Amino acid sequence: MINPKVIERLILYRRSLLMDGEARSGQIYSHEMAVLAGVSAPQVRRDVMAIGYSGSPITGYDRQALLRALGEMIDPPEPESVALVGVGDIGRGILHYFQGRRPRLAIAALFDKDPDKVNRVIHGCRSYPVEEIARVVPSLKIRVAIISVPGFAAQDVADRLVNAGVRGILNYAPIRLKLPEGIYIENRDVILSLEKIAYFARQT
Amino acid sequence: MINPKVIERLILYRRSLLMDGEARSGQIYSHEMAVLAGVSAPQVRRDVMAIGYSGSPITGYDRQALLRALGEMIDPPEPESVALVGVGDIGRGILHYFQGRRPRLAIAALFDKDPDKVNRVIHGCRSYPVEEIARVVPSLKIRVAIISVPGFAAQDVADRLVNAGVRGILNYAPIRLKLPEGIYIENRDVILSLEKIAYFARQT
DNA sequence: TAGATTGTTAATCGATTAACAATC
DNA sequence: TAGATTGTTAATCGATTAACAATC
């Protein structure tokens, strides 16, 4: 199993290759990829090795073949649905921003506690009360969720999601969720990030 | 200088102490703090040591004194202004969510390229064209900025911000910014995060 | 004093970087 | 072949964990 930092770099490599319009086909060397992605060349070689793709000492890597190998690692084999819980400011922002950007990854269900926000279609997406997580999440085979509810509600929501089959969570709520082993989580607390950045901006 | 992971934990310790309403005053042991913040007890002790505060082998740490020490490290000495560039879906979500939550840290200026979005007041905050960054950022002594513009515009915006005196950036644009040494940056690319989470959710 | 906790050092772990032999 | 690059191993670096002497 590949670790999170490696996966992140693999995603960056793919983007770099796709955005490097100059030469979508042809060959590319590790040091060129390194410049594009902002990492070191040996790092690129190690990462490429990790996905089982190999290049040639003479011609480097084949762009198209490398993109295929990256896609096989990164992309879900079939389109995947994501749940978004909490249709507040942050949640709505993410929903609007995200929809339609990744064909194989789409927000397929919204959940909220507010009766005014449920049983509607928001930005092309059906919204349900949180009590329906247990029913809707398994029926849509959802395994990834975004939590953007207030801190006090986040643990309850997380428990419901995990019980319903979710295995990965992107958490915007300002608390550290307690989750069973094997659930992958990333915390994206905006206020914490800004406090941290402000600290470092003050130094120097 | 303290490293980012330590600062992040210090912020969590403070939150844990503030939210642990049970006993806002009195003493607390490292292993109790460890449970609250979800880290190990020796880790808590090392971090507390790093901010120059010390406890007693008998009574542990004094909550109020520790909170003061944490605040001195984390909080800006005087209220600090933050710039937000890009008043789109994500930017607007952050603006609405963030305003008023941290008294010493507030979004004080918005910037956008769209003529319809500038020279207005959005959610109590004045908006300017991006060309005015060079003038407004220094005049408000802004050192921290949030970038939530499309990828193709982000590098230009970042350069303008850094030239105007910004030293810390929270970047929501889907590119790796090239910045001079000494500028602190955190990347919060939503799509990248979800792709990563989806990968790990598929395993197991 | 006895004992649990603190401050601090040593051991471990993992990831990154540097070096280099293998290769086309 | 000569040479630049790849694949792969060794060295380095840093952070975390474990251990323990000092302390009240």
Residues B109, B51 within the same domain: no
Angstrom distance (rounded) from CA A165 to CA B78: 46
Per residue, what are the HEC states of B100-131?
CCCCCEEEEEEEECCHHHCCCEECCEEEEEHH
Domain identity same for A94 and A68: no
Please indicate, yes or no, whether residues A133 and A180 belong to a single structural domain of this protein.
yes
Chain B residues 172 to 191 whose Cβ lies within 7 Å of strand D are none
How does residue A24 score in pLDDT terms, banded at 50, 70 and 90? low
* In-domain check, residue A101: yes
Q: Which nucleotides of D are covered by protein (CB under 7 A)?
A: 3-9, 14-19, 22-24
Q: How many CB pairs lie under 8 A apart between chains A and B?
A: 166
Please tell me the distance from the alpha carbon of residue A172 to that of residue A151, in angstroms, as a whole number.
9
pLDDT tens digits for range A75-125: 999 999 999 999 999 999 999 999 888 889 999 999 999 999 999 999 999
Q: Is residue A17 part of a domain?
A: yes
Same-domain check for residues B133 and B180: yes
* Domain boundary residue, one of A55, A74, A93: A74
Q: Which of B15, B186, B191 sits opposite A101 (nearest CB)?
A: B191
- Reported as type and span, the H/E element at residue A169 is strand A168-171
Tokens of B120: 């207005």
Question: Which segment, A1-15, A43-57, A145-159, is predicted with the most confidence on average?
Answer: A145-159
Task: Provide the number of structural domains found in chain B.
Answer: 2
Write out the two tokens for A25. Answer: 């086909």
Nearest CA to the C1' of C14 belongs to which residue? Answer: A3
B75-133, pLDDT tens digit by residue?
999 999 999 999 999 999 999 999 888 889 999 999 999 999 999 999 999 999 999 99
Rounded average pLDDT over A189-196 = 95
**Domain limits at A94?**
80-194
What CATH code is carried by the domain that includes residue B116? 3.40.50.720
> C-alpha angle A137/A140/A144, rounded to 5°?
60
Query: Is there a domain that residue B201 lies in?
Result: no
Q: What is the rounded radius of gyration, in angstroms, for the C-alpha atoms of chain A?
A: 20
Q: Are residues A11 and A97 in the same domain?
A: no
B166 and B69 together in one domain: no
Give the CATH number, domain containing residue A55: 1.10.10.10
Output the pTM of the full model.
0.95
User: Which pLDDT does position B74 carry in this prediction?
Assistant: 93
Q: What percentage of chain A carries pLDDT values higher than 90?
A: 87
Question: What DSSP string describes B29-72?
Answer: -HHHHHHHHTS-HHHHHHHHHHTT---BTTTBEEHHHHHHHHHH
Both structure tokens of A12: 């960056």
With 80 as the cut, is the pLDDT of residue A21 above it?
no
Band of residue B23 on the pLDDT scale cut at 50, 70, 90: low
B84-96 burial by CB neighbour count: b if 16+ within 10 A, else e? bbbbbbbbbbbbb
A121, A169: one domain = yes
